[in-house]
Structure 1
């Protein structure tokens, strides 16, 4: 199953170790780490989240 993992390096609730755990659970993944976007990256940096999702969908659908 393909997965897009979007994390922030500034989220105080979810530590970066959680990203590595998710990467292990989803072998077919793409990880995006947004800098300074806190726990809700879609609110702090919506343009980057939309760009990441569109790019990932284009690549995933093309397979």
Structure 2
């Protein structure tokens, strides 16, 4: 079997996942945005002595989201 044939056979095991990704078009962009915002708040909140202020800043950054 040649290298090209081996390459062509490779996606068969992943066909279900590939088709599901094409049909549903889900991604993690919203979660990535939340994580980046929280990391930014964490960098700014380095000197906080009370953790409640950190969590209050996170809640203030996302006012319309559920707790």
**Normalised by the shorter chain, which TM-score bucket?**
under 0.3
Higher relative contact order (Cα pairs below 8 Å, separated by 6+ residues): 1
TM-score, length of structure 2 as denominator length: 0.25
Q: TM-score, normalised by structure 1?
A: 0.25
Bigger Rg, structure 1 or 2: 2
